[in-house]
């Protein structure tokens, strides 16, 4: 339902939980937020709700399967424009049951602005629900640049490698299909710095918003994905004990 929209039926109804976790994940590009969302979803039995997944799924659907909000969002993206808050919110609101009537969720990629955060807060308050926590994954800028600038992508199957952390068996060749590996434009150091600056400007008010609400939990994003997930789970256990 999250991927296809309100006309679809949910194929992954989670078990009812007495205290379901309702989490928002924040973090700059390169901190591994998506990976953490997947690992936490497994550990907590919650739904991983990624707005990026929605956009990718919608781009593959026929026009007749797209809601007006989704069509509008894709049109902005095709032009290279930012999707406005109102359109993003309408897309999320269409999938409100995934947030309001499930056994917990992990929101990844939403909210990204203060306006989106306020809309989410109002929706949940109407249903007498509240967020459990907002996890903010942090990593020094130089480490983010090193992590992203080392990524290499296969021209053919789009598999991703890393020159030091996950190198291919044969230099510049994909392990899966043998295709040539290349560095994406947005993975070059100069592009990464621009992306990080834009992220900081847009997210600083959001971080303060959740900090003022007492929901912000900072997580150091160093180490392997499993180590970071274990660190996160320990913080969540501390919260559950209070």
Annotation says 231 is catalytic: no
Answer whether residue 86 shows pLDDT above 80: yes
With cut-offs at 50, 70 and 90, classify the pLDDT of residue 135: very high
What is the pLDDT, as a whole number, of residue 224? 87
Annotation says 201 is catalytic: no
Domains of the chain: 22-221 (3.40.50.300)
Q: Average pLDDT of 225-235? A: 95
Cα–Cα dist 73/55, whole Å: 8
Catalytic position from the list 33, 95, 147, 152: 33
Mean pLDDT of the chain: 86
Residues 6+ apart with CB under 8 A from 11: 1
pLDDT digits (tens, 9 = 90+) for 138-193: 999 899 998 889 999 999 888 889 898 889 999 999 999 999 999 988 889 888 88
What is the pLDDT, as a whole number, of residue 3? 62
Quickly tell me which residue has 């710095």 as its tokens: 193
What is the pLDDT, as a whole number, of residue 184? 87
> How many H-runs (helices) and E-runs (strands) does the chain carry?
9, 8
- DSSP character at residue 209: H
What is the pLDDT, as a whole number, of residue 7? 63
pLDDT digits (tens, 9 = 90+) for 20-41: 899 999 999 889 898 899 999 9
Catalytic position from the list 22, 95, 151, 152: 151
Catalytic position from the list 188, 195, 211, 235: 195
Annotation says 56 is catalytic: no
State the chain's maximal CA–CA distance in angstroms: 56
Annotation says 184 is catalytic: yes
pTM listed for this prediction: 0.81
Catalytic position from the list 22, 95, 112, 147: 112
Annotation says 237 is catalytic: no
114 within 8 A of 122, measured Cβ to Cβ: no
With cut-offs at 50, 70 and 90, classify the pLDDT of residue 62: low
């Amino acid at each position: 339902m999250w991927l296809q929209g309100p006309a679809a039926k949910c194929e992954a109804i989670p078990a009812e939980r007495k205290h379901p976790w309702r989490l928002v994940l924040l973090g700059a590009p390169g901190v591994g937020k998506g990976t953490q969302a997947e690992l936490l979803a497994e550990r907590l039995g919650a739904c991983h709700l990624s707005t990026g997944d929605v956009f990718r799924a919608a781009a593959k659907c026929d026009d007749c399967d797209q809601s007006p909000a989704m069509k509008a969002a894709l049109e902005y993206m095709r032009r290279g424009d930012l999707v406005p808050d109102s359109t993003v919110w309408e897309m999320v609101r269409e999938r409100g049951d995934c947030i309001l009537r499930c056994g917990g969720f992990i929101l990844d990629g939403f909210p990204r602005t203060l306006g989106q955060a306020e809309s989410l807060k109002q929706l949940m308050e109407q249903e007498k629900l509240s967020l459990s926590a907002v996890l903010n994954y942090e990593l020094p800028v130089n480490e983010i640049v090193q992590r992203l600038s080392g990524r290499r992508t296969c021209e053919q199957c789009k598999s991703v490698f890393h020159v030091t952390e996950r190198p291919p068996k044969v230099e510049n060749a994909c392990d899966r299909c043998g295709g040539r590996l290349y560095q994406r434009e947005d993975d070059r150091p100069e592009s990464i710095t621009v992306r990080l600056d834009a992220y900081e400007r847009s997210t600083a008010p959001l971080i303060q918003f959740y900090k003022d609400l007492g929901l912000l939990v900072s997580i150091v994003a160093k180490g392997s994905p499993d180590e970071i997930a274990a660190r996160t789970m320990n913080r969540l256990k501390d919260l559950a004990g209070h």
